[in-house]
């Protein structure tokens, strides 16, 4: 799961005295935690961030839809778990009321699978914030590389004439990335060239959450076990009739 550069799910929270970096810098460095004592490359000195400073906070307009891809399966798991447990309760009440012990096996199956679905949903809900943050940190280097690759080609085209006249070699790709970082704070000799550059947002195809896949598997297994338990009784009743 990733995000598009024009819709970063986190916003940068600058410490006291720091300027706000450009949207390009924010999109390329989502979730990056500056080391202790680090300061941005500015023309004027600034103090380092206070200890335990939280550099990133959700960007409401983009955070909510990004987070929703992780919570949709949770709602489904909790709903189906509750439904399956409710069916198990009905089977249990029927077994007690009728005295037919064959219903107890069905009751146990529904309770087991309903409990599994509920436990899965509750566990996923308890860890959703951590998983969202991890997904952002994992996706950020990929987005950064895609954005810088596009911008690097534009940089080569924009400086081709000047480099042909002066014989100056182009920056290496990594050097170009560092220069873009500096330009994000308004510093760097190449900021006049780098700052106006934009990107084309990559096409993102979200993968279906694993929780949905596990739900389908669990339901298929449950149906199979129900048939395994109920079918012999039905066949026996039919033959006896």
**pLDDT winner (highest mean) among 13-17, 79-83, 214-218:** 13-17
Please report the DSSP string for 61-86 in residue order.
HHHHHHHHHHHHHHHHHHHHHHHHHH
Single pTM value for the model: 0.64
pLDDT tens string 99-132: 766 667 777 878 888 888 888 888 888 888 888 9
Residue 218 has pLDDT above 70, yes or no: no
Do 215 and 80 contact (CB within 8 A), yes or no? yes
% of the chain surpassing 70 pLDDT: 75
Residue 166 has pLDDT above 50, yes or no: yes
* Residue ranges covered by each domain of the chain: 10-31+51-236
CA angle, 66 as apex, 60 and 69 as ends, to 5°?
140
**Model confidence at 172, in pLDDT bands (50, 70, 90)?**
very high
**Which two structure tokens, joined as six digits, stand for 90?**
């009905």
Of 34 and 3, the structure prediction assigns the larger pLDDT to 34
Show Cβ contacts of residue 111 under 8 Å, excluding neighbours closer than 6 positions: 85, 88
Mean pLDDT score across all residues of the chain = 79
Residue 205 has pLDDT above 70, yes or no: no
Q: Measure Cα distances from 120 to 34, 70, 74, 77 in Å.
A: 35, 13, 8, 7
Over residues 66-83, the mean pLDDT reads: 84
**Model confidence at 231, in pLDDT bands (50, 70, 90)?**
low
Give the pLDDT confidence score for residue 67 in this predicted structure.
87
Torsion of CA 212, 142, 24, 56, to 10 degrees: 60
Give the pLDDT confidence score for residue 234 in this predicted structure.
46
Residue 239 has pLDDT above 50, yes or no: yes
Residue 9 has pLDDT above 90, yes or no: yes
% of the chain surpassing 90 pLDDT: 27
Q: Measure Cα distances from 30 to 8, 46, 167, 223 in Å.
A: 7, 22, 36, 44
Residue 215 has pLDDT above 60, yes or no: no
Closest alpha carbon to 77 in 134, 120, 36: 120
Q: Helices marked H in 13-127 — which ranges?
A: 23-28, 60-98, 102-126
Over residues 205-213, the mean pLDDT reads: 48
For residue 195, the cross-strand partners are none
Closest alpha carbon to 194 in 210, 177, 174, 211: 177
Give the pLDDT confidence score for residue 183 in this predicted structure.
87
Residue 87 has pLDDT above 80, yes or no: yes
Helix, coil or strand: residue 25: helix
pLDDT tens string 20-59: 999 989 999 999 999 999 999 888 889 999 999 999 999 9
């Amino acid at each position: 799961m990733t995000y598009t550069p024009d819709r970063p799910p986190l916003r940068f929270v600058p410490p006291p005295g720091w300027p706000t970096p450009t949207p390009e810098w924010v999109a390329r460095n989502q979730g990056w935690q500056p080391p202790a004592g680090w300061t941005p490359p500015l023309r004027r000195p600034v103090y380092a961030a206070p200890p335990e400073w939280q550099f990133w906070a959700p960007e409401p307009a983009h955070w909510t839809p990004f987070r929703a891809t992780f919570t949709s399966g949770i709602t489904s798991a909790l709903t189906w778990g509750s439904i399956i447990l409710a069916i198990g309760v009905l089977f249990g009440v029927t077994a007690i009321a009728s005295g037919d012990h064959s219903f107890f096996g069905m009751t146990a199956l529904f309770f087991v699978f309903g409990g599994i679905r509920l436990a899965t949903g509750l566990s996923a809900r308890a860890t959703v914030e951590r998983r969202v943050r991890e997904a952002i940190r994992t996706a950020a280097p990929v987005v950064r590389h895609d954005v810088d690759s596009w911008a690097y080609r534009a940089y080569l085209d924009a400086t081709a004439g000047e480099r042909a006249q002066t014989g100056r070699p182009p920056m290496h790709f990594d050097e170009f990335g560092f220069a873009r970082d500096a330009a994000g704070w308004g510093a760097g000799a190449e900021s006049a060239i780098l700052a106006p550059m934009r990107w084309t947002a990559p096409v993102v195809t979200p993968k279906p959450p694993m929780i949905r896949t596990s739900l389908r598997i669990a339901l298929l297994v449950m149906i199979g076990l129900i048939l395994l338990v109920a079918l012999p009784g039905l066949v026996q009743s039919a033959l006896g009739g």
